[in-house]
Amino acid sequence: MSVTQNQSRRDDAPLSTSKRDDAVDEATGALVEARGDTLVGRTVTINRPRAELYGYWRDFGNLPTFMDNVVSVEMLDDRRSHWVVKAPGGQTVEWDSLITEEREGEMIAWASAEGADVPNSGRIDFRDAQGGRGTIVTATIVYDPPAGMVGKIIAKIFQREPAIQARRDLRRFKQLMETGEIATSSRTHAQLAEEKA
């Protein structure tokens, strides 16, 4: 392997799939502002136009529709929003979030404001898929796990771990955008409410 390859990225794979320890540093470098040291990246292809997906996402009040652990997102002004998110053990965590950069139809970058319960930052990218397959949506999230590793393990047990949540949330976003609804195998309203609790 040549020196130049060693100095920069060695292949074309996303940093979130890297086996290297320093990948998170490189990933945070791609963010306008970085908060945290745990990296999550997930990509999904959605069979809808880019503008439509961006538009739905940019209206943050829509996000709790498919993000199961987000209780509410309130827009404080055009760039500032307040998030209430479920945490293990029936608790919630809250923070204010700032849009640090956005490009219409392409990407939104954010970072939590000072004093966040779970410091986090990230970006959501929308780009056209090859062969007319719709839009490739990539979420990149850098965060500090609540209460360090113990919090992360607890979160994993309760399935509120961000890597799992990101994957499931993106699938639900895809379902909603492609089919107009979010698939459920519940049989009754009572079961559905229990599932979402």
Partner 1 sequence: MRALTWHGKHDVRVDTVDDPEILNPRDAIIKITATAICGSDLHLYDGYIPTMQKGDILGHEFMGEVVEIGAKSTLQKGQRVVVPFTIACGSCYHCGKRQYSACDNGNPADNQDIGQELYGQPMSGLFGYSHLTGGYAGGQAEYVRVPFSDVGPIVIPDGVADEKVLFLSDILPTGWQAAENADIEPGDTVAVWGCGPVGLFAVQSAFLMGAERVIAIDHFPHRLELAKRFGAETINFEESATYEALMEMTGGIGPDAVIDAVGLEAHGFFVDNVIDQIKKSTFLGTDRTHSIRQAIVACRKGGRISMPAVYGGIVDKFPLGAFMEKGLTLKTGQTSVQHYMPALLNAIMEGKIDTTFLISHTLPLEQAPEGYAMFHDKQNEVTKVVLKPGMALAA
Closer Cβ to partner 1, 37 or 178, answer by number: 178
Shortest distance, position 16 Cβ to partner 1, whole Å: 16
Tokens of 184: 């459920």
Shortest distance, position 187 Cβ to partner 1, whole Å: 5
Vertex 155 angle, CA 145 and 58, to 5°: 65
Strand partners, 143: 38, 120
Radius of gyration of the chain (CA): 17
Select the residue interacting with partner 1 from 58, 82, 156, 171 (CB under 8 A): 171
Considering the rule CB under 8 A, would residue 58 count as an interface residue with partner 1?
no
Shortest distance, position 131 Cβ to partner 1, whole Å: 9
Q: Kindly determine how many residues on this chain lie close enough to bind partner 1 according to the rule CB under 8 A.
A: 26
Beta-carbon contacts of 186 under 8 Å, excluding residues fewer than 6 positions away, are 192, 195
Considering the rule CB under 8 A, would residue 197 count as an interface residue with partner 1?
no
Considering the rule CB under 8 A, would residue 192 count as an interface residue with partner 1?
yes
Q: How far apart are CA 138 and CA 45, in angstroms?
A: 9
Q: How far apart are CA 57 and CA 44, in angstroms?
A: 14
Q: Give the binding site for partner 1 (CB under 8 A).
A: 45, 47, 133-134, 164, 167-169, 171-172, 174-175, 178-190, 192
